[in-house]
């Protein structure tokens, strides 16, 4: 029997298993920085599946391995989730892990513990098949991605010295093959005014009015941003996500203002360019430069209380359509499912910003569930997707060039 047929049959045999272990994870809330309990559960599941090595790294991510080949491929799933939001918007308990004929339901099913469940099943398939190929196959179940995407992998590469030859993100792609996405960064703009008594506003300079003009300048900048040359990733964007003004009292002209900006970066855009654009557009709107435009740091500690941080900059990444990793992914998909995969990109950001964007390790994406389910109420993941993805992850190491 061909290896493709064996993988397909095993993935089908483990379909209910994949759904069940996803359900078990969903029942354990795992907000960013609070993932310890789900990490302990994943360790247990990987050990039961027969992985050759299972450990927890210094930041709190689970690292599991199958095989002892001289090269390395890593499959990554972040296992933290956003919070529930307004519970009235949910028709089902977000932590029920309910399974029906079509879906597993709950917070994190698509974004992105569905990928984690498929990875565990893929490891079990590889063990069943006695995989002993050229690649050591790593499965990483990473923390704090929702707060600071990529920091977990910056830690794995720079501190733990886990440097794979190739990587696969299992973020939701609707079982399509992705090869990149826009980067992003966060910025803080500070604007100064001059306070005066509210009864005589003409004596002061309102930081609130300046901030409003600056916000409209960001609206103009967003409209002026252009797509990348080959139109693959699309245009960058900028959004004012928060504004604050303050002054001596509620009866005074405010003398300080802050704008928080979310900037999405297409190919060819970086932090220096983006900061320069913000300064230029605000200066033109106000007739003076803002007090400062800076990129803040992320400094929250995770469940292991490890002191580790990075700037809130997440580089854009993509690999070429004819890259050997993409071609291997296409071949694996075709051999398993007898059709061509859709090759596309994500709208949102993933740990690829560190793996490929920062450290230039070739990477693709293939995951269960849909992007539109991310951060939405009534989140769900198709059980069939879990089966498809577990087969793809188990097949890819055999197809790598």
* Dist. CA 40–CA 60, nearest whole Å: 10
What average pLDDT score do residues 13-35 get? Answer: 98
Give tens-digit pLDDT for 135-167: 999 999 999 999 999 999 999 999 999 999 999
Domain 3-181+316-399: CATH class, spelled out:
alpha beta
CA-CA distances (angstroms) from residue 327 to 175, 322, 334, 344? 16, 6, 10, 13
Three-state DSSP class for residue 179: coil
Residue 57 bears catalytic tag: no
Nearby residues of 358 by Cβ (< 8 Å), 6 or more positions away: 150, 154, 315
* Dist. CA 210–CA 63, nearest whole Å: 49
Q: Which of 4, 80, 255, 379 is catalytic?
A: 80
CA-CA distances (angstroms) from residue 22 to 16, 85, 196, 280, 356? 10, 21, 59, 48, 27
pLDDT the model gives residue 138: 98
Contact yes or no for 59/304 (Cβ under 8 A): yes
pLDDT the model gives residue 208: 98
Name the fold adopted by 183-298: Alpha-Beta Plaits (3.30.70)
Q: 348: which strand partners? A: none
**This prediction's pTM:** 0.95
Contact yes or no for 121/18 (Cβ under 8 A): yes
Task: Work out the percent of the chain whose per-residue pLDDT is above 70.
Answer: 100
Q: Which of 111, 113, 145, 379 is catalytic?
A: 145
Contact yes or no for 97/117 (Cβ under 8 A): no
Nearest 5°: the CA angle 337, 75, 154 is 150
Contact yes or no for 367/115 (Cβ under 8 A): yes
| Phi and psi at residue 163, to the nearest 5° | -120, 95
At residue 401 the predicted structure's pLDDT band, cuts being 50, 70 and 90, is confident
Residue 145 bears catalytic tag: yes
Closest CA to 281 of 360, 228, 226, 213: 213
| Phi and psi at residue 71, to the nearest 5° | -100, 165
What average pLDDT score do residues 169-183 get? Answer: 98
Q: 56: which strand partners? A: 62
**How many alpha carbons lie under 13 Å from residue 262 in its C-beta half-sphere?**
7
Tell me the domain boundaries of the chain: 3-181+316-399, 183-298
Q: Is 270's pLDDT higher than 90?
A: yes
Structure-token match 């910025």, residue found? 187
Q: Is 129's pLDDT higher than 90?
A: yes
Integer distance in angstroms from the first to the last C-alpha of the chain?
22
């Amino acid at each position: 029997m061909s290896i493709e047929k064996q993988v397909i049959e095993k993935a089908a045999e483990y379909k209910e298993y994949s759904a069940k272990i996803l359900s078990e994870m969903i029942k354990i809330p795992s907000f960013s920085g609070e993932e310890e309990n789900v990490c302990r559960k994943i360790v247990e599941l990987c050990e039961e599946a027969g992985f050759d090595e299972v450990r927890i790294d210094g930041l709190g991510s689970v690292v599991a391995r199958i095989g002892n080949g001289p090269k390395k491929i890593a499959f990554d799933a972040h296992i933290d989730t956003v919070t529930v939001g307004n519970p009235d918007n949910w028709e089902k308990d977000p932590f029920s892990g309910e399974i029906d004929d079509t879906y597993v339901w709950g917070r994190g099913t698509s974004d992105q513990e569905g990928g984690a469940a498929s990875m565990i099943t893929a490891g079990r398939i590889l063990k069943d098949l006695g995989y002993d190929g050229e690649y050591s196959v790593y499965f990483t179940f990473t923390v704090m991605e929702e707060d600071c995407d990529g920091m977990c992998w910056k830690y794995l590469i720079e501190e733990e010295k886990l440097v794979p030859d190739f990587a696969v993100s299992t973020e939701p792609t609707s079982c399509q093959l992705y090869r990149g996405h826009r980067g992003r960064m966060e910025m803080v703009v500070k604007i100064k005014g001059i306070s005066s008594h509210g009864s005589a506003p003409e004596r002061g300079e309102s930081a609130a009015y300046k901030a409003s003009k600056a916000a409209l300048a960001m609206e103009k900048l967003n409209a002026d941003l252009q797509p990348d040359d080959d139109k693959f990733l699309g245009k960058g964007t900028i959004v004012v996500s928060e504004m604050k003004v303050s002054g001596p009292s509620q009866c005074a002209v405010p003398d300080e203002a802050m704008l928080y900006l979310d900037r999405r970066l297409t190919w060819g855009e970086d932090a220096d360019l983006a900061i320069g654009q913000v300064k230029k557009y605000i200066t033109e709107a106000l007739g003076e430069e803002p007090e400062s435009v800076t990129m803040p740091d992320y400094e929250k500690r995770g469940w292991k209380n490890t002191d580790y941080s990075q700037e809130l900059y997440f580089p854009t990444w993509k690999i070429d359509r004819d890259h050997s990793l993409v071609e291997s992914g296409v071949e694996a998909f075709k051999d398993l499912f007898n059709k061509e995969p859709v090759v596309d990109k994500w709208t949102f950001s993933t740990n690829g910003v560190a793996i490929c964007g920062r450290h230039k390790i070739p990477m693709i994406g293939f995951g269960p569930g849909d992007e539109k389910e991310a951060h939405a109420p009534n989140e769900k993941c198709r059980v069939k997707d879990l089966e498809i993805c577990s087969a793809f992850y188990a097949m890819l190491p055999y197809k790598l060039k």
